[in-house]
Structure 1
Amino acid sequence: MEFPTVCPACAGENRAEFTDSSVHDLTCAHCGARYCVFLRKQKFEVLFDLGTQALMDGYAREAVASFAAALERFFEFYVWAFTLERAANAEQEFGAALSGLEGTWRHVASQSERQLGMFALAYLLREGHEPDFLTARGLGTDFRNRVIHRGALPTRAEVEAYAALVFALIDRLLTELGPGAAHAELAQEQVFASHLAGLPDGVTAVFEEHPGMFRARRFGGLAPTPKLSPQPVPGQVPGQPRKPGKAVNDARAYQQALFRQALEERGALLRSFKGPPLNVPPGRE
């Protein structure tokens, strides 16, 4: 998947492929200038945005894979944020804490069930109660497995519901993390600093932040969505907070409302940002 980037020397547009490290060493196709783009965006954000773009483009099944991967990578992000936050509170040196975390994560890097277990424990230790959302229903596991492992062809409505579930869960956990998320982001900045220090003379460093579904929520652009009953119930004033007994239906409606609100605000930017590849005739991108 590519994204557009502007050459700092001639202002010509180039396209770069997303990388796992968020570091992109580029050579301008127009003037030959060398530059390096450091993309301040977490992997779960990139994956969720790719899923959103696939959904908007009509690739429902492909979108499910990206949304599912985004959730798994967010659980990893949460573990890193919690661990580094805890180390900071204990006044442990950041480099030592990061090294220990990286070494530990290598033991579970290829085992998603163990990663989920690490997340569950991290959540318990940080929030003081069990992660009661870690159920097949709460994670949309049955739907995910039917699509990814059994080749089911989902409808757009089913994928939108799954995307809304994943979005609402990540949004909730990001809100609970609050400033704690910055500790995991600092790990990315350290990767950037290491690469930046090794850049040869004549290479320009460019730091970018891209529009995305979680950017507005995290940095103040998207207002919170209140949890209201989707349908009036007898004796309830319109707009009144939900009444007991409607929790399941309200949760689904809230997830979908939250996702749609973000999609309305950020979807157009994502589509505009994606754009067609350079030098491709219209209708063939």
Structure 2
Amino acid sequence: MDFPTSCPACRREVRVEFDDSAVHEVTCPACGARFVVFVRKHKFEVLFDLGTRALLDGYAREAVASFAAALERFFEFYVRAYALERAADSEGDFEAALAGLEGTWRHVASQSERQLGMLALAYLLREGRAPDFLAPQALGADFRNRVIHRGYLPRREEVEAYAARVFALMDRLLTELGEGAAHAELAQEQTFAARLAALPDGVTAVFEEHPGMFRARRFGTVRPEKTLAASSTDLPADGRTLNDAQTFARALAERGPGLDVFRRGLRSAPTPPQP
């Protein structure tokens, strides 16, 4: 999938393919200018948006794969946010904490079950209660496995229900994280800063923030406090209330059209800032 941006030299639109690092090296095909686009968006956000786009375009099975991957990467985001938040609260060295986190995560990077264990412990330590959302029923694990591993072709309404389940869980945990999410955002900014410092002469840096299903959460003027954790998306141990279809449907109606317009390039990309 790609996104539109504007060449900082000639202002013409350029289509750029999403890069796993969120850092995109671009050469304008019109004027030859070289620039690097830094997209302020975490991987779970990109993956969930790709799932939403696939759902809007009628690719139900492909949407499930993206939503499932988004949830896994969101769990990683939560663990990272918590670990860095603890380092900040204890007035520890952020750089050292980040290096330790990277070294630790390498031990579980290829093992989803161990990542779930890290999430469970991080949630228990941060919130003081067991993670009531990790039951297979609450996560929609059986549906995900049928689609991804057994080739099941889901109906759109089934995918919408699964997407609603994933969205509600992410929204709940982001609410509980509150300002804690800023620590993971800072880690991304530091990665960008390192790449920015290494840019050769003549290469322009462009920073962008794209529309998305979680944009209001991350860049809103008011962040929810941890005391607001008890919400309509809180759930009992059996996960019955996790599938908040109304919340997802509302978000899809509000932000889905923006995603579709942005993907198709029917409007100009935001004017990038000058370095």
Separation of aligned partners in 2, 1:45 and 1:26: 22
Aligned-residue offset at 1:219: 3.3
Aligned-residue offset at 1:30: 1.0
Rate the CA distance shift 1:46–1:204 in 2: closer, same or farther, 3 A.
Answer: same
Aligned partner of 1:156 in structure 2 is 156
Separation of aligned partners in 2, 1:182 and 1:251: 25
Aligned partner of 2:203 in structure 1 is 203
Aligned partner of 1:167 in structure 2 is 167
Instruction: Name which one, 1 or 2, has greater alpha-carbon Rg.
Output: 1
Separation of aligned partners in 2, 1:37 and 1:138: 37
Aligned partner of 2:252 in structure 1 is 263
Corresponding residue SS for 1:207 = strand
Aligned-residue offset at 1:103: 0.4
Aligned-residue offset at 1:217: 3.1
Q: Which runs of 5+ in 1 are unaligned?
A: 229-244, 278-285
Give the letter for the 2:216 counterpart: A
Q: Which runs of 5+ in 2 are unaligned?
A: 225-230, 267-275
Separation of aligned partners in 1, 2:192 and 2:141: 35
TM score, norm. by length of structure 2: 0.89
- Structure with higher RCO (Cα < 8 A, 6+ apart): 2
CA RMSD after TM alignment: 2.2
Deviations 1:114-147 (A, max 9, x none): 0010000000000000001100111000000000
Separation of aligned partners in 2, 1:249 and 1:21: 36
Separation of aligned partners in 1, 2:67 and 2:178: 22
Aligned partner of 1:19 in structure 2 is 19
Corresponding residue SS for 2:5 = strand
Give the length in aligned residue pairs.
Answer: 257
Aligned partner of 2:131 in structure 1 is 131
Rate the CA distance shift 1:108–1:62 in 2: closer, same or farther, 3 A.
Answer: same
Deviations 1:1-33 (A, max 9, x none): 111111111110111111121101111111111
Q: What is the aligned-residue identity percentage? A: 72
Deviations 1:194-219 (A, max 9, x none): 10001111111110000000112333
Aligned partner of 1:50 in structure 2 is 50
Give the letter for the 2:254 counterpart: E
Aligned partner of 2:270 in structure 1 is none
Aligned partner of 2:213 in structure 1 is 213
Aligned-residue offset at 1:220: 3.4
Which structure 2 residues correspond to residues 102-251 of structure 1 after superposition, within 5 A? 102-220=102-220, 227=232, 251=242
